[in-house]
Amino acid sequence: MSKRRNGECSIFPYRTGYAAYAWVTTPDGERKRKWVYGKTHDEVYEKWIKLQTRAREGPMPTTTPTLTNYLAYWLKEVVDPNLAPKTSEKYKLLTRLYRAWLNKLRTACQCCAQGKDARRPAERQRCCAIGNCCHQVVASRTIKDVRDTLRAALTNAVAEELIARNVAAVVRLPAPRKPQRQSWSADEARKFLESARADNDPLYAAYVLVLVLGLRRGEALGLTWSDVDFNMMQVHIRWQLQRADHELRHRETKTASSTAVLPLPDICITALKLRRDRQDADRDRAGDAWLDSEFVFTSGYGTPYEPRNFNRQFANRSRKSGVRHIRVHDTRRTCASLLVALEVHPRVAMQILRHSQIAMTMEVYSEVPSAKTRSALKRLGRQLDG
């Protein structure tokens, strides 16, 4: 054995090579031994020198958890207490379903990998379970979300000094293509609203709000009667209703810019008054089974309206009214067209659309709807006996 260098008393033969340790302070303030190993004395010596240098710089962990164990810790101790429930739910979904190398995700059939078809009853199996792979690969956007989730977790691991470098930060992916968003013309929106009004649809007022005010689904369903001011003809948007982690949550809007006081055009006033009358009738019909709440949109027994049920009813109403099916969120793109048809002043439209500059409003405020559409929408805004 070579002569021991000064200060190397912690280096010694170990199994088929050598081992060394240094006393370090862990991130939680404890003093522990940190070990390094190698095949040769010189290799361990170099590692030991780096270990001593690193120990003098500040706290360091003595062990590094596996990625699986660290992700479980990160979700429970970092994500859940600090992020919005929907974001937390998304991170959990991505870490559970796609804890794999990103390049493999691009080509791996997720129906095969997750056994989607195999879980169906035998008579309904149609692809992977019967040897006919459907090649259901994940979208490029999902792959980016997986990378971002892993990067966020490892960034926290670096901050907690569990690892020295975030390897996920250097992973580069092709930019995902922006999906082409659909929207309705003012005439299609008019047909949709006329159909809902003619059938006395209990969600008619919600449809008016998402189309005319551009409210998001959660903002409409989270609306309370205390947020509606009929005298001032305005509504305060400050809540949203979401289902996350199998629980309905009534919480503040996602961002500060989403919170706003919006003017209510006549069509919105009329629709909300109709909704109030409908809710009063539901309360009388339900009797003791009625659950008191402040929500504008409730079930027949006063409970908050389920967001997924809203999606289903929106799709059914689209089919009944004979218009193209679009997502609920895409109705926001139709909002400007309806404001033009209702002859809402551009400055008021700017407030409703929540634009920072009037030029942005005028850019989307250019469609000139037909006289028929203008007249029909104004009729919807009048009182029933008017």
Flag whether 224 is in a domain. Answer: yes
Enter the pTM of the model. Answer: 0.59
Residue 62 lies in a domain: no
In a domain, 386, yes or no: no
Residues 132 and 200 in one domain: no
Is 117 in the same domain as 233? no
pLDDT for 269: 93
97 and 36 part of one domain: no
DSSP 8-state assignment for residue 232: T
By C-alpha distance, which of 273, 303, 304 is closest to 286? 303
Specify the pLDDT at position 109.
86
- Asked if residue 385 is part of any domain, the answer here is no
* Same structural domain, 117 and 150: yes
Q: How far apart (Å, rounded) are the C-alpha atoms in residues 254 and 240?
A: 8
Residues 126 and 34 in one domain: no
The pair of three-digit structure tokens given for residue 160, joined into one six-digit string: 């907690």
pLDDT of residue 222: 94
First to last CA, the chain: 104
Q: Are residues 261 and 305 in the same domain?
A: yes
Which CATH number belongs to the domain containing residue 165 in this structure? 1.10.150
Q: Say if residue 141 is in the same domain as residue 287.
A: no
Output the six-digit token pair for 263: 């003017």
136 and 99 co-located in one domain: yes
Q: Which residues, at least 6 apart from 11, have a Cβ–Cβ distance to it below 8 Å?
A: 4, 18, 19, 20, 41, 44, 45, 48
Same domain, 86 and 37: no
- The pLDDT assigned to 196 comes to 95
> pLDDT 10s per residue in the chain (386 long)?
445 554 445 678 888 889 888 888 877 778 888 888 888 888 888 888 888 888 888 777 777 676 667 777 778 877 888 878 888 887 777 666 545 455 577 778 888 888 888 898 988 888 988 988 988 887 777 778 878 888 888 888 877 766 666 767 756 666 666 656 678 888 898 899 999 999 999 999 999 999 988 898 999 999 999 999 999 999 999 999 988 878 888 888 877 767 888 888 888 999 999 999 999 999 999 999 999 989 999 999 999 999 999 999 999 999 999 999 998 988 887 887 777 777 777 777 777 777 767 676 666 665 555 665 556 556 655 543 33
Same domain? 248 vs 356 = yes
170, 205, 235 - which closes a domain? 170
CA 231, chain centre distance (Å): 35
Residue 268 maps to which CATH number? Answer: 1.10.443.10
- The structural domain count of the chain equals 3
Q: Which domain holds residue 88?
A: 67-170
Which residue carries 């033969």 as its tokens? 13
Domain identity same for 215 and 348:
yes
